[in-house]
Amino acid sequence: MSLIRTLLIRVSGPDQLGVSAELFEVLSAIGAVVKDIEQIVVRRRLTLDVLIEVDKSDDALKDLLLFGYQRGLHIDVEEVHGEPTEYTEQCVVTLIGRDITPSQLMLATRTISNNEGNIDRIIRLSRYPVMSYELAVNGGKLDEIKQGLLQVASETPELDIAVQPLNLSRKAKRLVVLDVDSTLIQNEVIDLLAEQAGCGAEVSNITELAMRGEIDFEESLRQRVSLLKALDELGVERLWQIETNSWSQNILSDTWKTWVYNSVSKWRVFNFAERLQRELNIKHARANELEIVGGRLTGRVVGPIVTRESKADFLREIAEIEGCRLIRLSLLEMAQMTLIC
């Protein structure tokens, strides 16, 4: 009676076409049962791990070594004892930043390990214009991991961190809401309009009062818009020299199913919202409108002002249209944030 052996096979070396196919052909020939597979290629260097069960003698594994020799690959074979890893609650941690430094990686990974989480896998999701990594975490104190990583993110403003359960919900349709000012674009639209109208300092002063809570948002908006009175359409057209943030076009070109941008700028009347929506392929847009008569701004806002409450209503409306579940609606209270629900 033959003895079943559990072997961990590691293939490493320069990546080549057909390596995986030939390896599994060899494993099939020796009657191996594949229990687990992990493969990664970094800078054309391959690491392929395969966990197998086999009841053949060592002679049967000579084909593996011959395969490695012919391909110029290094083959390690290790006999594994003990029970398979018992998987508990799993999550995925995503790190996003312009440049993710070793110290930032240390803070994130130490937070996970300090709360008894084990990192099973780390992969790079993007490189430019933003760097991002995905960490698959097994076990640990999930609530403490989340809180710890939230603390890391709050103390490291150049690093964004997201924690999600590792389940099929990650593959579901998502609803993403983006503010425009200083988020989707690098500028504040009201400030750019004010510069064209020659009242930049006055508008900035009113903005400061609103930021300190000395005047409410709607009133501050009406006051700022009133200062733009008589600005002509030519001045407004020059406003289109805005710059989108480096990550925005990259992230909007990815595989999200539904995009919503929720603008706090006041430019729909000039077709700027529609223009940005068209150029960035955004599906839904909502913005305030400035009244224009005879080719000039009147200094008045048309219709209701977009507020936090109306943003929430807009999100619910689009979520219903697109059939998306609302998971983190409370994030709407955070101004100028990218919201993923």
Contacts within 8 Å (CB) and 24+ apart, 145-149: 145/91, 145/93, 145/111, 145/112, 145/115, 145/117, 148/111, 148/112, 148/114, 148/115, 149/93, 149/108, 149/111, 149/112
Q: Considering 15, 99, 120, 179, which one is annotated as catalytic?
A: 179
Q: Which two tokens stand for residue 269?
A: 């009347």
Return the amino acid letter for 79.
E
Rounded Cα distance between 119 and 267, Å, is 46
**Count of Cβ atoms closer than 10 Å to residue 316 Cβ:** 12
Query: Is 59 designated active site?
Result: no
| φ, ψ at 235 (rounded to 5°) | -65, -35
Rounded distance, CA 289 to CA 306, Å? Answer: 9
Handedness of CA 105, 108, 111, 112 (dihedral sign): negative
- How far does CA 223 lie from the centroid of its chain? 36
Q: Which of the following is catalytic: 143, 181, 216, 232?
A: 181
Query: By C-alpha distance, which of 118, 114, 67, 62 is closest to 89?
Result: 118
Report yes or no: 165 and 316 within 8 Å, Cβ to Cβ: no
Give the integer Cα–Cα distance in Å for 192 and 178: 20
If DSSP codes are grouped into helix, strand and coil, which group holds residue 40? strand
Q: 232 an active-site residue?
A: no
For 210, phi and psi rounded to 5 degrees?
-65, -40
| Catalytic residue numbers, as ranges | 179, 181
